[in-house]
Structure 1
Amino acid sequence: MRCVICFESVLPEVNWTNFLLVQKEVKLCTTCFEKFDVITEPGCPLCGRADSSGVCYDCERWEGSSYQGVLTKNVSVFSYNDFARELVARWKYRGDFTLIEAFAEAAQTKYKNYFQMMEADLVAIPLSKERLLERGFNQSDALITLLGVSPHRFLKRRGSEKQSKKGRSERLLGENPFILVKPTERPVVLVDDIYTTGMTVRHLALLLREAGCPEVYSFTLFR
């Protein structure tokens, strides 16, 4: 077996405890595995930011705006360090789709611990047709499939402009780039690869909540 990130050979550990058990396939070498920064004790109870001692400054500002209370909580698997940034670039922008296997076990475990007992609809972040054609896949769809669930299509994107090209003030004052196409009265978990400012998930959460959704969470690989 070879590491899905660096392609070095990976030898599974065999001891008397697991000798008679079926060995699961190891996807990562030790070197790559140790470069992930797993979030074990998130500091901010709202967004999961690890380096905060309580509700972080960004979430305080969100809760003091028109988006107050629209997002119940964000849960993330890893901190978005330099190693993660390079992996996301390879996976999402350079077409190295098999890298999703590097995230599989940790993502499935975190999701199970937080959300599996909740009767919720998993919703992907919609991409524009142009962005989908450019990338070849929707990373949110891929992550939901990785969790063993089919994504729901409750929303769509108005246009193709990237929110990342706008400043925070411009995003807050601008038109919501998403449209609700189907309401739900069940809790929703929005699934994406990265939580950065929280603007995207709050845009979506606002539409869902205004249409009767009782709670909106987000689940992301990186924070």
Structure 2
Amino acid sequence: MEVLSSDLIKGEQCLDCSRWESDAEWSGLLLQNESLYQYNDFLKEYLARYKYRGDYALAKPFAHILKNYIEKSEFDIVIPIPLSNERLYERGFNQSTALLEEAEVRPSCLLTRSHSEKQSKKTRKERLQQEQVFQLGEADVKGKRIILFDDIYTTGTTLRQAAKLLREAGAVEVSSLTLSRG
């Protein structure tokens, strides 16, 4: 698990979560986020090869730790953060879904995503001001404990938007797990 330096911690939370929790609109939606690795130059290049150059086999080294983490978690549903149809067509696969499948975790693809500019092209401010991009189909999440899964936690906006939608639909608890934390 990622361990943050003490200057990035406020009480029991990281500074980022503390900021989110101080905003009434976002407070209490996401129980917690756990990141397996710190995002660094090596992981940046590794994930770029995986996501943008289609080197699907690069998911394998993460399978064991991801499977172990999820097996120890209490949840009803694991939902990968979806790509828009356009982004899925460009890449040929959803990197988050593929990581879960490689770890032998059955993902529940209950969310869809509208197309927008690539997150990596947006500034932090633009990401934080982004409107809701997710939709939930006919799936019943009432009373469910959900783990959202994504490859990279940058600002937390994506995960919190998904958590907000799921909580509004009746999920009792939403946590998130990311491969890395930027």
Equivalence for 2:141? 184
Query: 2-side partners of 1:152 and 1:50: how far apart?
Result: 36
SS in 1 for 2:93: coil
The 5 A counterparts of 1:106-185 are 106-113=65-72, 115=73, 118-181=74-137, 182-185=139-142
Query: 1-side partners of 2:58 and 2:127: how far apart?
Result: 31
Query: 2-side partners of 1:146 and 1:85: how far apart?
Result: 20
The question of whether the paired residues in 2 share the 8 Å contact of 1:124 and 1:140 is answered with: yes
Residue 180 (structure 2) pairs with residue 204 (structure 1) = no
Query: 2-side partners of 1:177 and 1:74: how far apart?
Result: 20
The 5 A counterparts of 1:88-103 are 88-103=47-62
- Cα deviation for residue 69 of structure 1 reads 1.0
Gaps of 5+ in 2: none
- Cα deviation for residue 96 of structure 1 reads 1.1
- Cα deviation for residue 51 of structure 1 reads 6.3
SS in 1 for 2:8: coil
Instruction: Report the AA paired with residue 178 of structure 1.
Output: F
Give identity over the alignment, percent.
47
The structure, 1 or 2, with the larger RCO (C-alpha pairs under 8 Å, 6+ apart) is 2
What's the TM-score once normalised by structure 1's chain length?
0.72
Write the deviation string for residues 140-186 of structure 1: whole angstroms up to 9, x where unpaired: 11122123232212211122422333333433433211112234021
Query: 1-side partners of 2:7 and 2:118: how far apart?
Result: 27
Q: More strand per residue: 1 or 2?
A: 2
Instruction: Report the AA paired with residue 115 of structure 2.
Output: G
Query: 2-side partners of 1:170 and 1:87: how far apart?
Result: 26
Equivalence for 2:43? 84
The 5 A counterparts of 1:56-71 are 56-65=14-23, 66-71=25-30
Q: More helix per residue: 1 or 2?
A: 2
The question of whether the paired residues in 2 share the 8 Å contact of 1:130 and 1:160 is answered with: no
With over 3 angstroms needed to count, the CA separation of the structure-2 counterparts of 1:82 and 1:51, relative to structure 1, is farther
- Cα deviation for residue 50 of structure 1 reads 8.0
Aligned positions, number: 176
Q: Which moved more, 1:202-211 or 1:94-103?
A: 94-103
Instruction: Report the AA paired with residue 29 of structure 2.
Output: V
Query: 1-side partners of 2:6 and 2:108: how far apart?
Result: 29
Gaps of 5+ in 1: 1-37, 44-48
Query: 2-side partners of 1:158 and 1:50: how far apart?
Result: 37
The question of whether the paired residues in 2 share the 8 Å contact of 1:50 and 1:79 is answered with: no
- Cα deviation for residue 57 of structure 1 reads 2.5
Instruction: Report the AA paired with residue 200 of structure 1.
Output: T
SS in 2 for 1:202: helix
